[in-house]
Structure 1
Amino acid sequence: MSRGVKLGVIGGVFAVMVGGCGYGVYNIASALTEGTRASSPAAPERRTGPPDADEVAETSRKFLTAWAEGDAPTAASYTTDMGAAGDLLASYAGEAGITARITPGTPAGTTVPFSVRATVSHDGKSKALAYRGELRVVRGAEDGRALVDWSPSVVHPELRDGDTLVTGESAAPRIEAVDRDGTVLTRKEYPSLGPVLDTLRERYGEKTGGTPGVELAVRHAAEDTADTPLLVLSEGRPGRLRTTLSAPVQAAAERAVQRFGESSVVAVKPSTGEVLAVANNRADGFDAAFQGKVAPGSTMKIVTAAMLIDNGVTSMNGPAPCPAEAVWQGQTFHNLRGMEPNESATLANTFLRSCNTGFIKLVDEEPLTDASLAREAEDRFGLGKDWRTGIVSADGTVPVAGGPDRAAGAIGQGQVQMNPLNMASVTATAITGAFRQPHLVPDGLDDRPRATAQGLPPGTAAQLKEMMRLTATQGTAQRAMAGLGGDIGAKTGSAEVDGQSVANSWFTGFRNDVAAAAMTEGGGHGGDAAGPIVADVLRAGG
């Protein structure tokens, strides 16, 4: 009888036991009946439907056991993607230097939770690591086997497609980031700042006097995404980095975005361009507040109104009729359901009610051209001018557009793309008349130039600010802004997106020397979801 290695479960923890054991041998005689050789056994029938409890238990046991032993090829063979799983599991024990004991929990249907107690080792240094994870068992598409539905998050919840785990000297020294008043900013207290702090560390760690340590980190596949540290084996010396953020406003922003899923918000100081807060509540972890590129809906009417005033088409108290529908080059545009037409409306009335047709009826007036909105956005509001904020950001897209897209762009649809950072800046420019490029860190840390723009004539800025005041006190933003004191103003928006049954909710507003903008995917009308988020932030910082 041969000797071998037998896998066992001790106390629910996968372990390795070496010893003698007998292995069953297929008995040919059992295939014979009364002297007649049986035909070859038929191939097992391909199973269908969700895996049953036995399959879930067996598949998860085999996968977790092989993973705990550091046997990446075998563990990967029990997944739906052997190649990707094999590479990541090999790096777990290799580049990351992790040895683990894995304890499975009680399955819930096809989902199996588990806990990991591990040791991370590098160059004579070791430290304990503990975390929880879960896997899901599915039916394989090709052969019907029960397999672990592969995702990098099975290995660690911070991992995404293409990410790896590495242990070694940190890419940059750690930083102690502080707000404008010296309060230390941590990812534990301000979760939305995690990716921001990682990027600030990567860009400015060496400029703040720190020295690198040794750490386990997630190395992200996405470009311009800094490593995410998971465990520090050796501290190094952190540098100190002062930011423009405000801890009280950031705390309010963190709480506000939790009110609605898939939400993002940014607050800036109009008199300086300093970013006071940035927060996201998104399942995908994407920094949509700074990097998003989606239609901003009727919040774009701030820029469109400025274009109309600057080009002499109309003024705040000038005509801007609001018919039930408007036809532009064969495409018909409508207003929100229930909006009463007003053929004698002024621009202020059309703005505060957010009448689409009133703006579209004016975009073909002389001297406007296909390029007018794009010029206004870039020359006056600084959009699309390569902002250098201190972290990765998108600076808005308002292209020259003809045909139906010219009209759609006037109401924040078509090819126009923005994010909350852009719209907070638009509000800041509208109420001060000056474009001050938003930024998170002082200029002295590097030689990056700030974008510049002409800004608005004083008369235009005064009219925009007054129309936003009216919108906050008498128009579509009234309910969201109720109870806020001081000098307030706002603009609502909802943006239709292909494939979504409910529009994205947009809202931008100001209170004294704070401007904020928010977006909630699938949030509906601007005042329903994004509005309360902005109001909460303004209440904390205004």
Structure 2
Amino acid sequence: MSSRALMTFKSHIEGKNADVAIYHDRIEWARGGYKGSLTVVRGETSHRPLVDWQPSVVHPRLGKGDTLVTGASAAPPIKALDRDGHVLTKEEYPSLGPVLDELRRRYGDQAGGKGGVELAVHHADANADGTGRADTPLLTLAEGRPGRLRTTFSARAQAAAEAAVRKYTDASVVAVRPSTGEILAVANHRSDGFDAALNGERAPGSTMKIVSAATLIDNGLTTANGAAPCPPSAVSLSQTFHNLKDLEPDEHATLSDSFARSCNTAFVKFADEVKPDTLTKEAQDRFGLGRNNWQIGVPSFDGRVPVADGSDKAAALIGQGKVQMSPLNMASVTATAMTGTFRQPVLVPLALDHREPARARGLPAGTVAQLRGMMNRTARSGTAAGVMAGLRGDIGAKTGSAEVDGEARSDSWFTGYRDDTAAAAMVQDGGHGIDAAGPIVATVLRNAG
């Protein structure tokens, strides 16, 4: 695009009551309720200014392969309500945009509404069978009549979650009610619009030690007060594992000691005593993870704990290797550890569309008592104490950081509970658990009740 063409483009935008700013390498504008920009580059051969064209030039919600469509809405609009009847909107709760779109696609016809005419983004990954992302409405051209859809969200918890994730880049959090499995809040702060809170697949780091500790206890390898020495390093086959910097070794540590201090080597030392599928079975049979059968009401990832051997088995015990989780998964893990009962998380009642929930055996009462004791100790005097300070009631927590290949800093993970609320957060490239994810979870727990 020549300089004259750029000026013509600018004039056209200005003619539509837009604010325009021109820089040496881009033009930015704001009109009609959204902001846009185009990047100007110099042609490799012509050396003239050219536009580095992206679909987002047309609209910021338009991605590669997406199209704009105008016509009758794919589903009637919905008025989504929280558990107390408060209306949930994208404007007030931006993180809920993708969730509300999906709820409309799935339940609009059942909620009693009437479709209208609208301009929407049809996403490239949308399929004829209803899988992929739901259309994103941009502009209503003819009003429909919204139906009413009750959800499990708590407007109070959602507001706290939204505020908490906005303080960090690439941050996600989920809160659930352990006694019922109801999802109270889902929030993301990401430039790519991806719902990592429900669909993220990342190594959970030491938050996975909740499942690993349950595995050791349930298989008779140790107990909370049993031996779990914390040496400075541990070797599994040819791979050497270390603890976080400045963590003092303790050859006389119990499992509770090593859990509260988040000692990696203590868990790695048990790798030779568990079978390749032991952790997998615990995750599936006790915590309901990794079977691809969760039915929460919208698409979600339900964790991955594959059978592992060799050094991968040791890595899995500390939430590394091929283990993958989302904040939703870890919030559910915490809820199961709290109550002993796996309750598949839900966003809308199962009876609404006769969904069959995922099921698992849950945990023995003795294991629950030990996990709660270790998580409470971690929150009161262990690695999570600084973050959880000031929270009253029945509390527990587990910190985590996960190394990711090719990234300079680890992902920050944190999960915790307070009374009948469990929450988990992940901040990509966020550092240690207490650096970013911890404050997010603490904020949600403080305001969710």
Q: TM-score, normalised by structure 1?
A: 0.79
Is 1:357 the counterpart of 2:265? The answer is yes
1:330, CA displacement in angstroms? 0.9
CA distance in 1, matches of 2:419, 2:139: 42
Distance 1:406 1:234, change over 3 A: same
Conservation of the 8 A alpha-carbon contact between 1:59 and 1:148: no
Task: Assess, with a 3 A threshold, how the Cα gap between structure 1 residues 493 and 447 changes in structure 2: closer, same or farther.
Answer: same
How far, CA to CA, are the matches of 2:75 and 2:136 in structure 1?
Answer: 11
Matched, 1:372 2:278: yes
Shift of 1:60: 1.6
Scaled by the length of structure 2, the TM-score of the pair is 0.95
- Alignment RMSD: 1.7
2:97 aligns with one of 191, 194, 207: 194
Q: What do the CA deviations read for 1:408-452 (whole angstroms, capped 9, x no partner)?
A: 000000000001000000000001000000010011221221000
Q: Is 1:244 matched with 2:190?
A: no
- Which residue matches 2:111? 208
Query: Shift of the alpha carbon at 1:102?
Result: 7.7
Flag the 1:487–1:115 CA change in 2: closer, same or farther, 3 A.
closer
* Equivalent residue for 2:198, pick from 290, 300, 303: 290
Q: Which residue of 2 aligns with 1:109?
A: 24
- How has the CA–CA distance of structure 1 residues 56 and 261 changed in structure 2, closer, same or farther, with 3 Å as cutoff? farther
Q: Is the 8 A contact 1:296 1:493 kept in 2?
A: yes
SS in structure 2 at match of 1:266: strand
1:249-275: CA deviation from partner (whole Å, max 9, x where unpaired) = 000000010121110000000000000
Where in structure 2 are there 5+ consecutive unaligned residues?
Answer: 127-131
CA distance in 2, matches of 1:538, 1:114: 39
Residue number in structure 1 paired with 2:7: 61
* Counterpart residue number, 2:312: 405
Q: Give 2:425's aligned amino acid.
A: A
Q: Rg bigger for which structure? A: 1
SS at match of 1:374: helix
Does the 8 Å CA contact 1:293/1:419 hold for their aligned counterparts? yes
Query: In the TM superposition, what is the alpha-carbon distance from 1:235 to its structure 2 partner?
Result: 1.2
The residue matched to 1:485 in structure 2 has which SS? coil
CA contact (8 A) 1:493 1:506 kept: yes
What SS does structure 1 have at the residue aligned with 2:271?
coil
Q: 1:47: which partner in 2?
A: none
Question: Which residue does 1:512 correspond to in 2?
Answer: 419
Q: Indicate if the aligned counterparts of 2:234 and 2:268 stay in contact, CA closer than 8 A.
A: yes
Shift of 1:218: 1.1
2:298 counterpart of 1:420:
no
1:115 deviation in Å?
4.7
Distance 1:508 1:130, change over 3 A: closer
Q: Which range is displaced more, 438-447 or 169-178?
A: 438-447
Aligned twin of 1:76: none
Partners of 1:282 and 1:438 lie apart in 2 by 23
Deviations 1:471-524 (A, max 9, x none): 000100000101100000000000000111110000000000000000011111
**Partner in structure 2 of residue 149 of structure 1:** 52
Q: Between Structure 1 and Structure 2, how many residues are aligned?
A: 443
Identity %: 62
**Alpha carbons of structure 1 residues 67 and 161: separation in structure 2 relative to 1, 3 Å:** farther
How far off its partner does 1:234 sit?
A: 1.2
Change (3 A) 1:398 1:239: same
Deviations 1:146-175 (A, max 9, x none): 211111111111111111111110000000
C-alpha distance in 1, partners of 2:21/2:443? 41
Residue of structure 2 in register with 1:170 after alignment: 73
SS in 1 for 2:22: coil
Letter in 2 for 1:421: L
Deviation of 1:236 after TM superposition, in Å, equals: 1.3
1:185 matched residue in structure 2: 88
SS in 2 for 1:333: strand
Identify the residue that residue 129 of structure 2 maps to in structure 1: none
